[in-house]
Amino acid sequence: MLRRNLLHVRRYPSLTLNTLLTPLVLLLLFVYIFGDVMSAGIGAELSGGPGGGDRSAYVAYLVPGILLMTLGCSLVGTAVSVCDDMTEGIVARFRTMPIHRASVLVGHVVSSVLQAVVSVVVVGAVAVAVGFRSANATVVEWLAAFGLLVLVALALTWIAVGVGMASPNGEAAGNNAVPLIVLPFLSSAFVPLSAMPGWFRPVAEYQPFTPAIETLRGLLLGSGIGGEGWLAVAWCLALAALGYAWSLSLFTRDPR
């Protein structure tokens, strides 16, 4: 199943390129167009004191959020791919074959996680090219950051699989997965929580992307993660368990 899904990726590279387009455009937009304005506007929050910031400080702040957003953008393709399999009859054929039933879903998940990791590496390389540096992070922190990205990708992919299976067609699956892309925009990806309006701050604070972004930011910049790390892991495990149970339940009782 994994080989089958990877062959689909090779045959339809435009889908992978489309998932990369949004985070890359946002990265370049916020660095070169809005970078000076954003760094000046939230300079005190970035530097911990009064006065404006500089673009390099904002780039360091921005990149962890963009990396998490890259994972979110890859979910639309996963949801559409799963929905297409469920509606085009191939799964009905798989059900008649002597294979483990869950392998159909696991193949999608592992393939999607691998694609998401490759996308993160590409976006990370572009981020380094535009000025992102992580001088204070140790090797252990880099490995922890990579592990967190894989864990987030795994959790969100299971949710995307459930979305795809619950959708009647590919177009609906793509639309239903949009909230997973929008949610990072409502987090601390672009501005600190302290710079947000008081009425909006709870929306950004009490959602899964913000603790994951803050943990990744602390690991990559070597600034410490506090309690955000445990909260991010808890969110990932909860979402992965929920997505797995939801997807397996839909797959088991699906009449198609």
For 107-145, write each residue's pLDDT tens digit: 889 988 998 898 899 999 999 998 888 877 888 889 999
Across 25-36, average pLDDT: 84
Do 82 and 101 form a contact (C-beta atoms < 8 A)?
Answer: no
Across 21-46, average pLDDT: 77
pLDDT at 156 over 90: yes
> What percentage of the chain carries pLDDT values higher than 70?
91
**Crossing angle, helix 139-166 and helix 228-253, to 10 degrees?**
30
Do 86 and 254 form a contact (C-beta atoms < 8 A)?
Answer: yes
pLDDT for the residue 49: 45
Burial (CB count within 10 angstroms: exposed 0-12, middle 13-18, buried 19+), residue 34: middle
- Average pLDDT across the chain, whole number: 84
- Per-residue model confidence as pLDDT tens digits over 37-66: 777 766 555 555 444 456 778 888 889 999
Do 137 and 220 form a contact (C-beta atoms < 8 A)?
Answer: yes
pLDDT for the residue 50: 44
CA–CA distance, 82 with 112 (Å, rounded to integer): 11
pLDDT for the residue 2: 84
How sure is the predictor about 85, in pLDDT bands with cuts at 50, 70 and 90?
Answer: confident
**Chain centroid offset of residue 168 CA:** 24
CA–CA distance, 132 with 127 (Å, rounded to integer): 5
Q: Fill in the amino acid letter for 119.
A: S
CA–CA distance, 35 with 46 (Å, rounded to integer): 13
pLDDT at 77 over 60: yes
Structure tokens at 42: 């939230």
pLDDT at 234 over 90: yes
Across 147-175, average pLDDT: 90
The DSSP secondary-structure symbol of 9 reads H
The residues, any chain, with a CB within 8 Å of residue 30's CB and separated by 6 or more, are 38, 58, 62, 190
Structure tokens at 9: 């990726």
Q: 134-138: which pairs have CB atoms within 8 A and are 24 or more residues apart? A: 134/60, 134/220, 134/221, 134/222, 135/222, 136/221, 136/222, 136/223, 137/219, 137/220, 137/221, 137/222, 138/222
Across 178-196, average pLDDT: 85
> Residues of 81-102 as b/e, b for ≥16 C-beta within 10 angstroms?
bbbbbbbeeebeebeeeeeeee
